[in-house]
Structure 1
């Protein structure tokens, strides 16, 4: 695959922020985002919204940070360092979503925002209070350049059970109606296909992306990694379809390089680029 260009040593690279929760096991969340940022040559900035207690087996609990600390991290970085793109992950509660949305609306520059609407871990452990779904739909989605839900998240957000290409397109339409500029419905969990088909919609036109399904149980952090890679590509000025195509290729290679960890699901690995 063609990588994003690296900044020469001593020059300031592009800056991309992740607004999300930590993963104490290092497989997903801010840790996964930061690995992709580093391997794609951008300077990663973070706004931590929650600290999770988790490992390869599941999420044991999480603690939300105060709203002023969440908002303050975003404002401090944007006002001094500047960012060329951002992505969200686990936001935990309607109050945090509101704080992020309010802060984002207050930024001076129009910065691309990728919203990965994390509702539950891959083990099914909840990472978003049920009351926060309305805030996600009404407050954050309208601010998003791109939303990137998986099929379980699609079901929670718009109530559509995606089982084939038709329902996948229906879901993309329903997601776009909530306000984002572009809606991506990922097909990694679409078991009716032996491939991994994704559908992107801008309200007028559909774009389809396909890749071989990688046969591995180690896919922890795949959604975070795809959204982070898309944010990096948008920071470089890629049009959204090209950014999604790049992110799709990136996460596919990260799945190929995934490794076992602990007693459960291991993470996808952006570290493969060290051997490229």
Structure 2
């Protein structure tokens, strides 16, 4: 039996809907062995983020070394990295251990609006992380911050994706969920040459906490199993769509997505 390993480097979400918790749930559901390095502890629930407590740089470096020296991952993803110093440490370890299939989810703001990346750290993402990325997965606001351009049209998305590839990311998955002007959620996959649009019906719900983490984790899991980028993104798109459609309905605010839904659909336990 082949064991595929996926490694997430991100923050902890005490509410369980995003961050490390969402990543590990997604890895498990997609049949890969999940490992983690925690960059920050957040106190949060569906109503928002009540506190952010960065992990010491020594602890982060030691976690990364522990994995790199013994449990070589088949794919790696980053989520909340919070500071410039943490970003530099992560980039250094990625190069040191020659980790491949790196997925960069440039987490900047929580669903409720709380900042999860210091302003001065944005340039470090561009300088140190994107050149190492196989895939980066910005949403529209994150893509605007990275490219310093306004994104309003599909042609704007294509131009922004081109800029991010020029920054070093081999592929870009630009998530379109923040564009509420249409009843379709349109994601763009760009490989440096071709633009591939993927559409799903928009689900009107406030229970979307952790969608970005879950989406990028699903891509990471499928890359770990040997899928190419297009295949990984297509499966991840189906995974996140099912997790939004089959709501858990938890909490009084932005509730978590349903990480059980995709596999339950595959087994026929949930009718599509």
Q: TM-score scaled by structure 2?
A: 0.94
- Aligned pairs for 1:25-104 (under 5 A) are 25-104=15-94
Work out the CA distance in 1 between the residues paired with 2:34 and 2:45: 23
C-alpha displacement at 1:274, in angstroms? 4.5
RMSD after superposition = 1.3
Identify the residue that residue 246 of structure 1 maps to in structure 2: 235
C-alpha displacement at 1:47, in angstroms? 0.5
C-alpha displacement at 1:210, in angstroms? 1.2
Identify the residue that residue 120 of structure 2 maps to in structure 1: 131
Residues 149-205 of structure 1 deviation map (CA, whole Å, 9 limit, x = unaligned): 111111211122222211111111121111111111111111222111111112211
Work out the CA distance in 2 between the residues paired with 1:106 and 1:192: 44
Residues 26-77 of structure 1 deviation map (CA, whole Å, 9 limit, x = unaligned): 1110011111111111110000010011111111121111212212212211
Work out the CA distance in 2 between the residues paired with 1:131 and 1:140: 14
- Aligned pairs for 1:202-241 (under 5 A) are 202-241=191-230
Asked whether the equivalents of residues 112 and 254 of structure 2 are also in contact (C-alpha less than 8 Å), the reply is no
C-alpha displacement at 1:271, in angstroms? 1.3
Among 122, 141, 149, the alignment partner of 2:111 is: 122
Q: Which runs of 4+ in 1 moved over 3 A?
A: none
Identify the residue that residue 194 of structure 1 maps to in structure 2: 183
Work out the CA distance in 2 between the residues paired with 1:222 and 1:147: 15
Work out the CA distance in 1 between the residues paired with 2:247 and 2:64: 31
Asked whether the equivalents of residues 30 and 222 of structure 2 are also in contact (C-alpha less than 8 Å), the reply is no
1:180 matched to 2:165? The reply is no
Work out the CA distance in 2 between the residues paired with 1:248 and 1:162: 22
Among 5, 8, 11, the alignment partner of 1:21 is: 11
Work out the CA distance in 2 between the residues paired with 1:12 and 1:23: 30
Work out the CA distance in 2 between the residues paired with 1:160 and 1:250: 30
Work out the CA distance in 2 between the residues paired with 1:247 and 1:224: 11
Instruction: Classify the secondary structure of the residue corresponding to 1:244.
Output: helix
Asked whether the equivalents of residues 164 and 190 of structure 1 are also in contact (C-alpha less than 8 Å), the reply is no
Work out the CA distance in 2 between the residues paired with 1:118 and 1:181: 18
Residues 82-120 of structure 1 deviation map (CA, whole Å, 9 limit, x = unaligned): 210011100000000000001111014x52000000001
- Aligned pairs for 1:91-170 (under 5 A) are 91-108=81-98, 110-170=99-159
Q: TM-score scaled by structure 1?
A: 0.92
Q: Which runs of 5+ in 2 are unaligned?
A: 268-272
Instruction: Classify the secondary structure of the residue corresponding to 1:224.
Output: helix
